[in-house]
């Protein structure tokens, strides 16, 4: 079983981009945190700035993943395509954000992805990913028994 961790647009610039909001740690640092949190479970960790690429990876996860963690970034608030792709999954989906979008601009208060997420973790910086990975794998294990 593999755990998918997918990341949306501009997260490749993590560490450089708006560090007052997103902190100084990079995507590589976040990937390392996820791998430690996942223990023996293999992690497929990816980032894309392109909506269609993320849709394709969600389709790929249909055959492979025991659970999926996704930080859709700005697509959280805009993408019916990601919502529809996630609807095709039967495994747990954990939505993850570094910041707490509910405490920011009004347009960040709505998430399409939350409509299908098993749960949402936001506001803890890179630690959000550790919590999301732990939660996703626990849900996956519960389903397996």
Is 29 labelled a binding residue? no
Determine the interface stretch with ligand DQA among 26-34, 43-51, 53-61, 71-79 (rule: CB under 6 A): 71-79
Tell me what percent of the chain is helix, strand and coil, each rounded to the nearest 5. 50, 20, 30
Would residue 59 show up in a list of annotated catalytic residues for this protein?
no
Residue tagged 């920011």 (tokens): 104
Is 20 labelled a binding residue? no
Beta-bridge partner residues of 5: 45, 69
Give the dihedral of Cα atoms 115, 116, 121, 125; nearest 10 deg: -90
Would residue 97 show up in a list of annotated catalytic residues for this protein?
yes
Is 99 labelled a binding residue? yes
Structure tokens at 137: 């794998």
Determine the interface stretch with ligand DQA among 31-39, 44-52, 69-77, 80-88 (rule: CB under 6 A): 69-77
**Rule CB under 6 A: is residue 97 a binding residue for ligand DQA?**
yes
| CA separation for the pair 58, 52 (Å, rounded) | 10
- Answer yes or no: are the C-beta atoms of 132 and 94 closer than 8 Å: yes
**Rule CB under 6 A: is residue 53 a binding residue for ligand DQA?**
no
**Rule CB under 6 A: is residue 10 a binding residue for ligand DQA?**
yes
Among 32, 33, 44, 74, binds ligand DQA (CB under 6 A): 74
Catalytic residue numbers?
A: 22, 97
Q: Which residues bind ligand DQA (CB under 6 A)?
A: 10, 71, 73-74, 76, 97-99, 101, 108
């Amino acid at each position: 079983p593999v755990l998918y961790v997918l990341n949306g647009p501009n997260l490749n610039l993590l560490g450089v981009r708006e560090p007052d909001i997103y902190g100084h740690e990079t995507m590589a640092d976040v990937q390392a945190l996820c791998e430690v949190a996942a223990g023996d479970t293999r992690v497929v960790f990816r980032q894309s700035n392109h909506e269609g690429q993320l849709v394709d990876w969600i389709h790929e996860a249909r055959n492979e993943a025991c659970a999926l963690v996704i930080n859709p970034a700005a697509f959280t608030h805009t993408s019916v395509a990601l919502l529809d792709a996630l609807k095709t999954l039967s495994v747990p989906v954990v939505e993850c954000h570094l910041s707490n979008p509910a405490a920011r601009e009004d347009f960040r208060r709505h998430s399409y992805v939350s409509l299908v997420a098993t749960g949402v973790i936001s506001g803890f910086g890179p630690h959000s990913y550790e919590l999301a990975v732990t939660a996703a794998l626990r849900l996956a294990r519960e389903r397996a028994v």
